[in-house]
Structure 1
Amino acid sequence: MSLLTRRGFLAATSASAATLLLPAQVRAQSTRMILSATSRTIEVQGKAATVWGLLDGNGRSGLVFDPGQAFAVDLTNTLDAPTIIHWHGQIPPNMQDGVPDLPMPMLQPGESRGYDFAARPGTHWMHAHIPEHEMLLLAAPLVVRRPEDVSADRQEVTLFLHDFSFRPPAEVLAEITGGTSMAGMDHSQMGQDGVAAMDMGAMGQGDAMSMPGMDGMAMDLNDYNFDAYLANDRTLDDPEVLQVDKGGRVLVRVINAAAATVFWIDSGSLPGRLVAVDGEPVQPMTGSRFGLAMGQRLDIELDVPAEGGAFPILALREGAKERTGVILATPGASVTKVVGLSDAEHPAFSADLSQEAALRAVTPLPERAPASQPMLMLGGSMMPYVWTINGQTWGNHVPVTAKSGDRVEITFHNMSMMAHPMHLHGHAFQVVSTGGARFAGAVRDTVHVPPMGMVTVAVDAGEAARWMLHCHHMPHLSTGMMTEFAVSA
């Protein structure tokens, strides 16, 4: 993905949400963005691979909005399968949230649909809300710039991460899940053909790490070894090299769009400052290595030295040696090849909440007494491969309920040996506890809950509707690790 210019696009005029009722072709096109769900070909490790994608009217992956520009987008499904797109990090009207049949049906092949709402600033993304489709890379960046982004003297880079298999996603899911069926998954969460049963013995049991103080129990970090790990659709065999200025400042917008992989972002010799998570500013945190789970985003500011050079920005797979990334290079710099495997395994990011506990919001939620404090027990196991919320899978779930406008404090208590990135649709929440003293933590939409860990988030219930609340690990989601935040008027 190329660097953004410091000038943005022309601002678009706001459109009424009522235009959702009109066919896309009826509405004026001049101020609207075009987006296509389509197939495309990329090269991975020297082999051509057919994947899916979300391309704008100029054939580029993703969308970038200027400050104040309305989210006015016409989406067309040019694929040969029905699908639907969720605007991850945005807060649209529930009708436009993009979950199959909740409430809108999937887009049929050839169908177009319009979306109109106020864009929420920050680094976000968009993806199919069907695990098999997301694993086919039907996802893209969705960046909404702030006025300070436009005025800042810095370049911007997007680092979009995926895990990738040459095998069909249905086969991958079947191998991971070991043939568990989800009878209650009635809104296409399993894809078009379901997941066929396969012998669990054929699957590698992944990487496990014992955790201190846990009586020898082992934490499962990775339950599948993908064929490749991509940064902007490329591996380190042929990485994207992005030109930056000597002595300049770069904002790297990192998006973890992987199905089942947690990464560390390592800026190497460049000093870094983490300035936002999930699109929301945080008090700057200095460092050269920051972790992010599936669905999460990091904005990291980097300072390029005056003498210039080439600087790999790497995404390291936790608990394993694989890595991917891009290269920032000043004009004329010599770019040295970086191999796709580190010498040693990278540590676990999922082991604890130390990074989360250190984050502080720039604009915290106002203090309010909660109307309710539900506890969600996160459970499950590798054998059989089933993951639950309060002991239930989707279809047998008990919703978390709230009244619109109420403050609710949800505690995620993970009783399993895998971490779970928990994502809430249609809302932003604030992390207020990681099991100890309260603090004004990051405002975000996806929080990573480690094995045997506990996180409490505060959220103000929004539009009266059914909003999905689920784990963003695609195999966990596909076996039913989802409930709903049911808001009443």
Structure 2
Amino acid sequence: MSNQWIRYSIMLLCVYVAQFTQAQVREYHLSISEKTVQVTGKPVKKILVNGQLPAPTLTFEEGDEAVIYVHNTLKNQPTSLHWHGLLLPNMMDGVPGLGGFKGIAPQGDFVYRFKVRQTGTYWYHAHSQGQEQDGVYGAFIVYPKSGQVQPEAEKVQQDHVILLSDFHTQSSQRIMANLKQSADYYQNQRETLFDVIKQVKGQGLANTWQDRKMWAQMRMLKTDLSDVTGYTFLMNGFTPTQPWSDSFKIGERIRLRFINASAMSFFDVRIPNLKLTVVSADGQAVKPVTVDEFRFGAGETYDVIVEPVQDHYQIQAESIDRSGFALGELKREGAPTVQWQIPAHRPRALLNMSDMGMDHTDMNHSMPMDHAGMNHDMPMDHAGMNHDMPMDHTDMNHDMPMNPEDMKHDMPNMSAHNMEDMVSEPKLEGWANAGTPKGAKMLQYSDLQALTPQTDTRPASQEIVMVLGGNMERYIWTINGKKYSQATPLKVKYGERVKLTFVNESMMAHPMHLHGMFVQLDNGQSPKNMPSKHTIIVPPGKTVSVLLTADELGDWALHCHLLYHMNAGMMNTLTVAKVDTHVADHSHANTNNVSAPQTSQQGDAHVHH
């Protein structure tokens, strides 16, 4: 053996040993089992991790070797754990049927092993049936390496996870069965005569009549902000009547890691009288932006830094359908205890025609709606959107008049002044309207900028358009007109730069999540300043684009993170394959600026080169 070969072998051995001597192996044992809980006072069976709701918070440092032993003690259900937002080998991602992972059989075990390649706020949850809703979810926090210097703007004295979730006394299987029975099964916040009066005041009688005629013909509800109601909203597992609480010292800076681990809920989050400085989105550092509140969807995370100076603060996370709060408290050490009241709800927003990609100029008396942009096989409505069908009021409140003359009859002595007295709350319409007080700042996607410049700013070599829609009569949700079981996997080349455009032709917002990689949100910033995210809200009737670098090999799930939308079909697979050997590896050394892939060039996807 030559001396050169010996030296080369020694060098390889040193590199190999160095990798494992520098990395800290961090192990966890997680047992998934069925337990009885009494979150609302009513005993119900749920599926928990280590008997906890939520599951234990797992903490790591960047560079650690994660070794997580999962024991499935369920008698007749397979299970799985997906590491939401983590960069890892495809088989470790935890989606049954993808990457060679088959799930964890009843009474079976599986060991997840992967190197932790990033820092930030993430979480984990089941990717089997509805187990995520039933209790299998928890926080996954990655801190910088010990001794690593932190940016001055991010130095804090306290660090708290604020994990929000939606608890239901019904099982996920029952909820899905009810939605299949009727998409409106949980719609118990329908409009009343009071809502009609508000609309007449703001738009006039004729416009109100025409608007309501269109909604009735579509058999859709303006109040359909959430598919499922009846939730108790939890903060770190605590109910609004017994909220989560922690203390602070005046002068301390506190990092709050907000995680939306709900199955179906969007939250408007605020801490009255306390500014929130957003420093991270989906675990990726962003340039600090100070706001009064933010909205986020299932699967998203935001880190904010606060500097409390008063004795007490209430953390308020209000569901967008205004059906409840998740609540918590920050309290100065030594301050007297206060008995918090559940806050008054903000006025509920109502969907409007702009949420259908239309405005009032599209309303015409001879043609209630233009369906050219809709998926003709699966119209997004509650009754097939039949143009010839007579007006159906079965979904409307029967106390609400649907004829201008009836309205006049029901309001014979109602002057404009009387109506104004009745309508004391502000008029709210449109999904995006959170009722933010005048002068207060709500975070917008356009506010987000990557903290350090993106390293891959190449223009996309192709654009893939993905249409989000569904059929409400059968409660089916689709991407490009096909549910998951019918879809052709989307294929891209390793290292390819792609633009992915989501076109939402439904009236529900969809938080679209890509596994295994980060996308760069096209939010009006320059390519180098676009923020990296793994979950993107696509509002109703709107189009959102992202850029990605397909730098992780394998089959990755791409789906709506509203659980019942995903389970009803709004999911596909993105396959990243090493097709061309001279495609450069555009892996990013700085994982806080990692781009991610998503594309489609088969099936019904629209591909633009």
Question: Given the two structures, how large is their TM-score scaled by the length of structure 1?
Answer: 0.82
Q: Give the equivalent residue in structure 2 for 1:309.
A: 311
Task: Evaluate the alpha carbon distance shift between residue 275 and residue 144 of structure 1 in structure 2; reply closer, same or farther with a 3 A threshold.
Answer: same
CA distance in 1, matches of 2:336, 2:190: 36
Name whichever structure is richer in helix by fraction.
2
Task: For 1:405, give the aligned amino acid.
Answer: G
Aligned-pair CA distance for 1:220: 3.1
DSSP-derived class of the 1:36 partner: strand
Partner Cα distance (1:477, 1:99) in 2: 13
Q: Does the C-alpha gap of structure 1 residues 298 and 470 become closer, same or farther in structure 2, counting only changes over 3 Å?
A: same
* Percent of residue pairs identical: 29
Give the aligned residue type for 1:108: A
The answer (yes or no) to whether the contact 2:82–2:125 under 8 Å persists in 1 is yes
Counterpart pick for 2:543 among 447, 454, 469: 454
Cα gap change, 1:148/1:112 in structure 2, threshold over 3 Å: closer, same or farther? farther
Partner of 2:30: 35
Q: What residue is the counterpart of 1:318 in the other structure? A: 320
User: For residues 315 and 201 of structure 1, do their structure 2 counterparts lie closer, same or farther at Cα, with a shift above 3 Å needed?
Assistant: closer
Q: How does 1:150-161 map to 2 (within 5 A)?
A: 152-161=155-164
Check whether the contact 2:315–2:330 (CA below 8 A) recurs between aligned residues.
yes
Determine the C-alpha separation between the residues in 2 that align with 1:463 and 1:233: 34
Equivalent residue in structure 1 for 2:170, among 145, 167, 170: 167
Does residue 1:386 correspond to 2:476, yes or no? yes
Distance 1:347 1:476 in 2: 22
How far, CA to CA, are the matches of 1:262 and 1:207 in structure 2? 19
Tell me the residue number matched to 1:375: 465
CA drift at 1:36: 2.6
- Cα distance between partner residues in 2 of 1:481 and 1:276: 27
The secondary structure found in structure 2 opposite 1:68 is coil
How far apart are residue 324 of structure 1 and its match?
1.1
The Cα offsets for residues 334-381 of structure 1, whole Å up to 9 and x where unpaired, read as 343334462433558952897112211113432102122101111124
**Contact kept? 2:484, 2:571, Cα under 8 Å:** yes
| Offset of residue 15 of structure 1 | 6.2
Larger radius of gyration: 2
SS in 2 for 1:135: helix
User: Retained in 2: the 8 A contact 1:84–1:98?
Assistant: yes
1:230 lines up with 2:234 in the alignment: yes
Counterpart residue number, 1:143: 141
What residue ranges of structure 1 are gaps of 5+ in the alignment? 1-12, 17-28, 179-197
Contact 1:321 1:346 in 2 (8 A): no
1:100 maps to what in 2? 96
The letter for the 2-side match of 1:401 is: K
The amino acid of 1:247's aligned partner reads G
- Please state whether the residue corresponding to 2:47 is helix, strand or coil: strand
**SS of the counterpart of 2:163?**
strand
SS in 1 for 2:469: strand
Tell me the residue number matched to 1:122: 120
Partners of 1:345 and 1:439 in 2: how far apart? 39
Contact 2:484 2:570 in 1 (8 A): yes
* Distance in 1 between residues matched to 2:487 and 2:457, nearest whole Å: 30
Q: 1:433 to 1:318 in 2, by over 3 A?
A: same
Q: After the TM superposition, which residues 26-425 of structure 1 pair with which residues of structure 2 at under 5 Å, given as runs?
A: 31-55=26-50, 61-80=56-75, 81-102=77-98, 103-119=100-116, 120-146=118-144, 147=148, 152-176=155-179, 178=180, 198=181, 202-204=185-187, 218=222, 220-305=224-309, 308-340=310-342, 342-345=344-347, 350-351=431-432, 355-365=444-454, 366-425=456-515
**How big is the shift at 1:74?**
1.9
Q: Indicate if the aligned counterparts of 1:399 and 1:485 stay in contact, CA closer than 8 A.
A: yes
Q: Displacement, 1:286?
A: 0.6
Structure 2 gap ranges (5+): 1-17, 216-221, 351-429, 434-441, 579-609
Inter-partner Cα distance in structure 2 for 1:466 and 1:30: 27
Distance 2:190 2:465 in 1: 29
SS in 2 for 1:410: strand
**AA matched with 2:333:** P
Displacement of 1:54 = 3.0
Q: 1:200 to 1:278 in 2, by over 3 A?
A: closer
Q: 1:246 to 1:201 in 2, by over 3 A?
A: closer
Whether the aligned pair in 1 keeps the contact of 2:26 and 2:65 (CA below 8 Å) is no
**Which sits farther off after the overlay, 62-71 or 119-128?**
62-71
Moved more, 133-142 or 240-249: 240-249
**TM-score by structure 2 length?**
0.67
1:200 positional shift: 5.3
Distance 1:332 1:118, change over 3 A: same
CA distance in 2, matches of 1:55, 1:345: 39
Contact 2:33 2:51 in 1 (8 A): no
The question of whether the paired residues in 2 share the 8 Å contact of 1:433 and 1:439 is answered with no
Q: 1:154 to 1:138 in 2, by over 3 A?
A: same
Per-residue deviation at 1:397?
1.1
What is the aligned partner in structure 1 of residue 606 from structure 2? none
RMSD between superposed Cα atoms in Å? 3.2
Structure with higher strand content:
1
**Counterparts of 1:453 and 1:200 in 2: how far apart (Å)?**
22
The CA distance in 1 between the partners of 2:329 and 2:150, in whole Å, is: 22
Separation of aligned partners in 1, 2:465 and 2:81: 29
Q: Hey, what's the Cα distance between the residues in 1 that align with 2:247 and 2:443? A: 34
Instruction: Name the SS of the counterpart of 1:368 in structure 2.
Output: coil
Quote the Cα distance in structure 2 between the aligned partners of 1:477 and 1:438.
30
Query: How much has 1:66 moved relative to structure 2?
Result: 2.3
How far residue 288 of structure 1 moved from its aligned partner, in angstroms, is 2.0
What's the CA shift for 1:82? 1.3
Query: Do the aligned residues in 1 keep the contact of 2:163 with 2:260 (CA within 8 Å)?
Result: yes
Shift in CA distance, 331/99, structure 1 to aligned 2, threshold 3 Å: same
CA distance in 1, matches of 2:563, 2:190: 18
Q: Which moved more, 1:164-173 or 1:103-112?
A: 103-112
Deviations 1:243-264 (A, max 9, x none): 2222211111011111111001
C-alpha contact 1:35 1:56 (8 A) present in aligned 2:
no
DSSP 3-state at the match of 1:220: coil
Q: How much does 1:399 deviate?
A: 2.6
Q: How much does 1:56 deviate? A: 10
